[in-house]
Amino acid sequence: MAKNKNKGKPRNYALDSGVYRFSASKMFHKKAIHKFLKKTVAKKPADKKPVFVEKKIKGDKNGGTRMVRVKKLTNNVPTMDLKKKNTTRKSVFSKHSRKLRPSLTPGVVVIILAGVHKGKRVVVLKQLETGLLLITGPLKLNGCPLRRINQRYLLATKTSINVSGVKVPETINDKYFARVKSDNKVKKDGNIFENKKEDYKPSEQRKADQASVDKQVLEAIKKHPQGAALKSYFKAGFGLNKGEYPHKMIF
């Protein structure tokens, strides 16, 4: 009996000429691939497991039952504190609503409670974009110039003047009161006591704005029925004597 030379070879093997024994279409038929192409097996729907289970709890004041998770959640604790987005001062406070006490309307005479000019009576002109209030002494009466101040440091009184005719320049805003950086650089060599700080000097523009605004405010004070008394009222400082309590006073 002759030996089979092709024993151990696959069904479709290369002949001596290099051509395979069966073509691709013939192998497609021999493997019966056409039987399995459109064959679909219906998948069994997975059983939905409940997320919560009702558990009985002892104690009369505990409600009797409580819903408990079947599978507890894993605690995902980050190893690093990620940097928060938009946490700068401009992004956080730019969209805040600037609320103002109803008693602090333009023209109201207020008392400053803190700072260099504490105890002085000044006039409220308007509210700026940052929520701070623009006030003036006037400078001629009590030495308080145009400045911005937080409303928490102001005590409103019932006295008021009509400032509807006072025109405040549009240039007087929050940037108007920004601090100007000095050009003097600290010398590293030499005596440190030689570096002296320059005293603040108002610019000519600020002097002109102060004069124009105060002139209009003084005219409004003159038009008040008690204009003469108001001038002495602005010049006098506020203070408390023994036995005087602010919560019992009417301002």
Radius of gyration (C-alpha) of the chain in whole angstroms: 43
Residue 136 is predicted with a pLDDT of: 93
Using H for helix, E for strand and C for coil, what is the string for the chain?
Answer: CCCCCCCCCCCCCECCCCCECCCHHHHHHHCCCHHHHCCCCCCCCCCCCCCEEEEECCCCCCCCEEEEECCCCCCCCCCCCCCCCCCCHHHHHCCCCCCCCCCCCCCEEEEECCCCCCCCEEEEEEECCCCCEEEECCHHHHCCCCEEECHHHEEEEEEECCCCCCCCCCCCCCHHHCCCCCCCCCCCCCCHHHCCCCCCCCCHHHHHHHHHHHHHHHHHHHHCCCHHHHHHHHHCCCCCCCCCCHHHCCC
**Contact indicator for 67, 52 with CB cutoff of 8 Å:** yes
Q: Which CATH architecture has domain 103-179+227-239?
A: Roll (2.30)
Residue 139 is predicted with a pLDDT of: 92
CA 70, 71, 73 angle in degrees (round to 5)?
135
Task: Give the other-Cβ count within 10 Å of 207's Cβ.
Answer: 13
Rounded Cα distance between 231 and 141, Å, is: 7
Q: Where are the domains of the chain?
A: 103-179+227-239
The owner of tokens 């803190």 is: 114
pTM: 0.59
pLDDT in tens, the chain (251 residues): 667 777 778 888 888 888 888 888 888 888 887 777 776 777 888 888 889 999 988 888 888 898 999 988 888 777 788 777 766 666 667 777 888 999 999 999 999 999 999 999 999 999 998 889 999 989 999 999 999 999 999 999 999 999 999 999 999 999 998 887 766 555 555 566 666 677 778 889 999 999 999 999 999 999 999 989 999 999 998 988 888 888 888 87
Rounded Cα distance between 108 and 125, Å, is: 8
The owner of tokens 């950086």 is: 181
List CB contacts of 52: < 8 A, sequence separation 6 or more.
67, 68, 69, 70
Rounded Cα distance between 158 and 245, Å, is: 18
Residue 182 is predicted with a pLDDT of: 64
**What tokens were used for 7?**
């024993």
